[in-house]
Structure 1
Amino acid sequence: MITTDFVPGSPCWLDLGTPDVRATAAFYGAVLGWEYEPMGGTGEGGDADGGGMEGGMFRKDGKLVAGLGKLTEEGARSAWMIYYSVSDADATTRLVERAGGKVRVAPRDLGEWGRMAQYDDPAGGQFAVWQPGKDSGVELVDEPGSLSWTELYTSDAAGAREFYGGVLGWQFGDIPMPGGEGTYTLITPAGLPQERMQGGLLELPAEHLSLANGRPYWHPVFNVTDCDAAVAAVTANGGSVQMGPTDAEGIGRMAVCLDPSNADFLLLTPAASAGS
């Protein structure tokens, strides 16, 4: 389970780059019950409700759950970026480079809040790290309307294990997929017990990774009280469904979704909640 007791290698933050901040904020508000808080209020380029601002924060029941920003990188797709907590972003950057990854954004300070960097893994999967200062990360996880799992789709599971294990110190464990359809690899931060599993990775053929033009990609899994109702909100607000809702034994009821700008995410009603 993901907690806000962030340790090195655990997911601690996520943000989304989108071509339309206003529409995207409204979408996630409808689907996940998030309140959008524009950064800086009104000002140049802004308007009375902050809809013209370049980005801001999402809150659920007053607690910080994610960030939102204007997609500015030419040719980039709208996608969630997941940040993992580290004690030293500069040392992590050196590990990334030695392990064959690329630095997308070199380590930099964000005021007193912390220090961040963004990378590509050797196969092109994008991820980021956060060295906490005053701010350690999100304030709500593993509850309805918040992050509950992180997941990597990759065409090279062995390579991903070697890279992320070396860079972030993760522990791995394999379980068979239902119906004998391959293996799912579970991820746990270094030195923590199995109940602190925070995510997984799944090997897929490159042709099944069309969202990222064949490259690996990370996506978040959001906890929801009622998967079917959340899926109905996705489609009613301009999003689409790639798979589901479907029941996964021992896990819960889930669906793979795209927001109106084709950023992917999963919705999950955990098994205990789905059966209640």
Structure 2
Amino acid sequence: MLTTRFVNGAPNWLDVGSSDLDGAISFYSGLFGWQFQSAGPDAGGYGFFQLDGRTVAGGMQVGADQAPPAWTVYFQSADAEATAKAVEQARGTVLFQPMDVMGKGHMAVFADAAGCVFGVWQPGETKGVDVAGETGSLTWVELYTPDVAAAAAFYHAALGLETSAAPMPGGDYTCVNPGGAGDDAMFGGVVPLDAHPATTPPPHAFWLPYFEVADTDATVARAQELGGAVTVPATSVQGVGTMAHLTDPYGARFAVIRSESPQG
């Protein structure tokens, strides 16, 4: 389950890169009640989305020549340099070399062997987000990839992640947890890209963050009012909850879920 008691391999940060940061701030503030706080004049416009004074995510402006608008999920690493080497050995790509972030920690951004972008955060003064698994915060992540077995092998080699099969309607679901942490530390799943429930599956692999909400239908309606779009309508799964896939007005993908029980 996702908590802020971070262990190596678990998601401990996420941020959204947007072509219109002010517009994204307005959207997520209206959707989740987040407030935005700048990280300061030396941060290049980067800032923090907060909920009741607790940081839930980061946000930044990205130019058209840099990357398309997207959410990036970061996983805890005890040694970002060692993780970068492991990524390359597993046939991934280092997009941004490990770097110190104003003494708060070290970050790096990679692409896995299928081209899916993800990052690592090596904690320093900042351990990670302040809240997870609560309404308005990150509660689950899902990897959509063309080859589940290959992805499982890559993330095991790069981050030490372990996978297991859970029976679900329609077939087994591949769950993910940090190595050696057991099912109680499960934080996400891996889904074949061609099994994506959208009418038109996305063209490339990606990590999808899920945010916990009090009412999925109301959140979907509000997202549309704010200019977002629905890619997968609200769907209920017994024993899990009611979820929907959305994009913000600039194309960044995310999902929302009303879990049947905390953490689903």
Matched, 1:122 2:113: yes
What is the aligned partner in structure 2 of residue 245 from structure 1?
234
- Counterpart CA distance in 2 for 1:87 and 1:120 is 19
- Counterpart CA distance in 2 for 1:226 and 1:86 is 34
CA contact (8 A) 1:206 1:215 kept: no
Matched, 1:221 2:213: no
TM-score calculated relative to the size of structure 2: 0.93
Correspondence list, 1:139-154, <5 A: 139-154=130-145
Cα distance change, pair 119–233 in 1 and its aligned pair in 2 (3 A): same
Residue 175 of structure 1 and its aligned partner are, at CA, apart by 2.4
Local SS of the residue matching 1:241: strand
Local SS of the residue matching 1:250: coil
What is the aligned partner in structure 1 of residue 80 from structure 2?
89
Amino acid at match of 2:250: S
Local SS of the residue matching 1:3: coil
Matched, 1:34 2:34: yes
Correspondence list, 1:1-276, <5 A: 1-40=1-40, 54-72=45-63, 74=65, 76-180=67-171, 183-205=172-194, 214-272=203-261
| Total equivalences in the alignment | 260
CA contact (8 A) 2:132 2:138 kept: yes
CA contact (8 A) 1:155 1:206 kept: no
CA contact (8 A) 2:193 2:205 kept: no
Cα distance change, pair 21–113 in 1 and its aligned pair in 2 (3 A): same
CA contact (8 A) 2:74 2:118 kept: yes
Q: Which has the larger radius of gyration?
A: 1
Amino acid at match of 1:27: F
Local SS of the residue matching 1:205: helix
Deviations 1:102-123 (A, max 9, x none): 0000011112100111000011
- Counterpart CA distance in 2 for 1:55 and 1:75 is 15
Residue 252 of structure 1 and its aligned partner are, at CA, apart by 0.5
- Counterpart CA distance in 1 for 2:39 and 2:127 is 18
Deviations 1:197-238 (A, max 9, x none): 1011101229989776x3210010000011111111100000
- Counterpart CA distance in 2 for 1:262 and 1:127 is 17
CA contact (8 A) 2:161 2:178 kept: yes
Runs of 4+ in 1 over 4 A off after TM superposition: 206-212
Gaps of 5+ in 2: none
Deviations 1:157-196 (A, max 9, x none): 010000001111111111244234xx42100111112121
